[in-house]
Structure 1
Amino acid sequence: MFPSTAPASYISLDRRQSKPNGARALATAISEAIQRQVYRANERLPAERDLAQHYDVSRGTLRSALSLLEQQGLVERKVGSGTFVRGQANSSSSQFADTTSPMQLMQVRNMLEPAIVDLAVHHAAGRDLEQLRTALERVEAARSAEQFSIADEAFHQAIAQACGNPLMIWIYEQVNEVRRHELWRASRGKVLTQENMTQYNAHHRALFEAISHRDAQTAKTTMTEHLSKAQQDLVR
């Protein structure tokens, strides 16, 4: 059911926004509603028609937002059944997010993500590559640090989704739980300059091309360089 009144953090969407901006804003609104348990874990979201009417957006914008939320691991879309809220991180995951510094997060990512991209090269199906292409286009279109951060998370999550290993996907979702923490968000202004975002996107494009061409060595090397730069930017 929908709340009888709009919550305080409800995001008003401007119909004049371009479709990507509208979808990102809507994804944020639904994500916040999930965090407040307006939409509860493992329950089905309202029908698309009802959601679109509630948030006063088009069905196309809604579907784009749901795709972004799916890439972020917050919802799962089941053909013929609807869209379901995925089980949220438990208290243990939240505790790790509270006590893990951005540098410690990067240490884990440096160990984990080259292995993930190697698996993605060997296991990505056609649908995975299409989702990865969409995620790439969104991160390349991002203009602000906030937009880039959301799209960057979705791009890396799409790589994890393509690896074909449910346990690895779950582990990477815990990484993203930490990435959403205030400690990480506070570093965005320093790290996500226009120059850095351009360089990160060059890596993103190279990663997509390497995965598409089944080039494991280039994919792993590019991911290592990408994460190394991000870590260096954190300490400058």
Structure 2
Amino acid sequence: MHPLDLAPLADNVFRLLTLSSHSLVLLFAEILPDIAHRGWTTSKGLAHARRLLEPQVAAAAAARRVKDDITLLRKRVAEGREARGRAGCDRADDAFHQSIAQVARNPLLIAFLRHYSSARCRAVWQREWDRTYRRVGVEEFTRVHDDHHEQVGDAIAAGDGTAAHHAMAHHLEAVSIDMGVLSSMPSR
């Protein structure tokens, strides 16, 4: 298996979602070191993992959202639009994605996004992110990014798991292309 081929891992993870919450948290704690060891915490590896898992998280959030969750996601989108500078935009982005995991109410998915959040603070990820902001332009990148977040949030609010999945997949594909970790290809 290629070190960045997470599809078998993702398939196994979703089969395990029927386990108790406590068991899932323990399992994920066991596999995180292996993920780091295999190089899956590189920018390319993390982006790939996100493209595999986060659309599922968005679909799950659409199925489980309640009124307060919709309010929270709309607040996170607004915070993203109000954020200034790379650091502020990065914090708002992280809060949005983690909030979707919270809305999905799945401890394994929450743990994955927390791991991703800590990985994005590492120097290698920050260099990639900084290059992306400079290449695309902070205002352009964040405007498009925030528009994508709004589309994801709207689909979750509507309870449309398919639309939430599609919107998140499109968003993460666009971010991956902008970061240079995925070649340009049309969305499905």
Give the TM-score taking structure 1 as reference length: 0.57
Summarize deviations over 1:75-126 as a string: whole Å, max 9, x none.
xxxxxxxxxxxxxx99x65x92995211111000000101000100000122
How many Å apart are 1:127 and its aligned residue? Answer: 2.2
Distance in 2, Cα, partners of 1:213 & 1:195: 27
Gaps of at least 5 residues in structure 1 are 1-88
Whether 2:168 is the aligned partner of 1:227: answer no
| Structure 2 residue 48 is the aligned partner of structure 1 residue 103 | no
Instruction: Select the structure of larger CA radius of gyration.
Output: 1
Larger proportion of helix: 2
Q: Given the alignment of the two structures, is residue 181 of structure 1 paired with residue 122 of structure 2, yes or no?
A: yes
Larger RCO (CA under 8 A, 6+ residues apart) = 2
SS where residue 170 of structure 1 aligns?
helix
For residue 214 of structure 1, what is the aligned residue in structure 2? 159
Query: 1:162 aligns to what?
Result: 103
Query: Could you say what the CA RMSD is over the residues aligned between the two structures, in angstroms?
Result: 2.3
Indicate conservation of the 8 Å contact 2:129/2:179, yes or no: no
Distance in 2 between residues matched to 1:166 and 1:215, nearest whole Å: 22
Question: Aligned pair in 2 of structure 1 residues 141, 98: CA closer, same or farther (>3 Å)?
Answer: farther
Structure 2 stretches lacking a partner, 5+ long? 1-28, 182-188
Is the contact between residue 153 and residue 176 of structure 1 (CA under 8 Å) also seen in structure 2? Answer: yes
Aligned length: 147
Equivalent-residue separation in structure 2 for 1:160 and 1:97 (angstroms): 25
Equivalences for residues 1-236 of structure 1 within 5 A: 96=36, 99=39, 100-192=41-133, 193=137, 194-235=139-180
- Match of residue 29 from structure 1: none
Secondary structure of the corresponding residue to residue 120 of structure 1: helix
